[in-house]
Amino acid sequence: MSRSSNPSHRSGLLLTLLVLALAPAAGAGAGPDALIPYEGPSFEDCLLTRIETQLVRCDNLTGAGVSAPFWIPEQ
């Protein structure tokens, strides 16, 4: 069996393999969250309160673990 030694055939095959290797994966950036519209931050209309020493806004812990001051109202 003889192999093709045509340079244009080899370069075409090499170019095809290179394009396939560098092509991005289809659909990698689209997920189910991309279809949900953004409604803004969840704490928009909520007051800052505390539970013991944790700061809370709209049932979300906030404050990066810093103890809440005593003058913040407690839930």
**Rounded mean pLDDT of 37-57?**
77
Q: What proportion of the chain, given as a percentage, has pLDDT over 90?
A: 3
Q: State the pLDDT confidence band at 40, using cuts at 50, 70 and 90.
A: low
pLDDT given for residue 22 in this prediction: 76
* 3-state SS, one letter per residue, for 9-73: HHHHHHHHHHHHHHCCCCCCCCCHHHHCCCCCCCCCCCCEEEECCEEEECCEEECCCCCCCCCCC
* pTM: predicted TM-score of the whole model, two decimal places: 0.40
Mean pLDDT of 37-47: 66
